[in-house]
Amino acid sequence: MSRETKSVGTLAVLVLVGLFLIVTGFKSFTKVAAGQVCVQTRGGAGVGQLDPGYNFQVPWIEGKSCYNTYVITYEASLVSPEESQSEADYIDYAVDTKSADGVGFKLPFVVNYQIDPSQVQYIFSSVTRSDGALKEKVKDRIRAVVPAEVTKYMAADLYANGTSVEMSNAVAVTLKAELAKLGVNLVYFQLKKGDFDQYYDDAIQAKAVKVEQEKQKILEQNIAKAEATRVAIEADGAANAQIIKANADAEVISVRANAEATAVVVAANAEKEALDLRASAINENPALLQWYQIETILSANIVYLPSDVLPIMPIPGQPALTP
């Protein structure tokens, strides 16, 4: 073999070695995209965790299995996925379920969930080794847990309160625990209004109408009772007013009569007392008798003369006498 041939062969080997080293260098670093977390694998087993960015790994020996860490929205809808206007990441049909009293209906809901990055190696070793398979497992778990929890409620409660925060939170407690078994965190859960069969829906509507009619009837009865009570109170008030007025008038008459009787008694007592005083004075001084007689005659405008004597002057207010 000539020297030139050997040189070409050596150069080729060096080129190949160089290319191998270059490729090996590139293979020694793997990039994990933002919003992902990966498990570093070796011989099919997980040996470590790879976070977003560039990570070292042994080329041709170690590999990786990645999972999406973004919040994922999964919706079960009453309309088909093709007709839905939802912006959820995954749209599915509503689940068929029953209430505690056996009424069947379709149940829609919305779930937001997210892989727990700290559980990625547990997910890889115990749940599933691919992100797509994990999404299917999460979906299946949700569609099993939610309708099972709803069957604890009566149809009337679900019909009236099926979209309430309280009921959604009650279901979410169980759902959160079940998703945690898959290494997934429940971010948000909300029940939507169920689609009951037409017969039950009509029955509920008829019952609601009847209830409203009964409420209206009770309201009208209460109004009538209130009006009757008002009229009775007014009548009692008028009667009481008449009684009070009559009692007041009677009291006034009684007081007036008592006052007049008292005045008569006082006057009589005063007159008697005056006569008693006069009699006592006359007894003590008989000469006063003549004075009292003269005073009486003067106060009466009468002059007493002997019967055979004519008055020289006329008495005021009397006609003159002629012989």
pTM equals 0.57
52, 62 Cβ separation under 8 angstroms: no
Q: Pull the structure tokens for residue 191.
A: 């029940």
pLDDT value of position 253? 79
pLDDT value of position 67? 95
Q: Pull the structure tokens for residue 207.
A: 């019952």
pLDDT value of position 77? 95
pLDDT value of position 236? 77
77, 92 Cβ separation under 8 angstroms: yes
Residue 303, amino acid? V
What is the distance between the alpha carbons of residues 98 and 197, in angstroms, rounded to a whole number? Answer: 11
pLDDT value of position 321? 45
What is the distance between the alpha carbons of residues 151 and 154, in angstroms, rounded to a whole number? Answer: 8
158, 105 Cβ separation under 8 angstroms: yes
Give pLDDT < 50 ranges for the chain.
Answer: 21, 23, 309-310, 312-313, 315, 320-323
pLDDT value of position 9? 63
> Where is 314: in which H helix or E strand?
none
pLDDT value of position 287? 65
31-81 tens-digit pLDDT: 888 999 999 898 888 888 888 988 877 676 788 899 999 999 999 999 988
pLDDT value of position 14? 60
Per-residue burial over 210-241, b if 16 or more Cβ lie within 10 Å, else e, is eeeeeeeeeeeeeeeeeeeeeeeeeeeeeeee
What is the distance between the alpha carbons of residues 274 and 280, in angstroms, rounded to a whole number? Answer: 10
What is the distance between the alpha carbons of residues 312 and 272, in angstroms, rounded to a whole number? Answer: 39
Phi, psi of 109 (to 5 degrees): -165, 170
3-state helix, strand, coil split of the chain in percent (to 5) is: 55, 20, 25
pLDDT value of position 12? 63
133, 184 Cβ separation under 8 angstroms: no
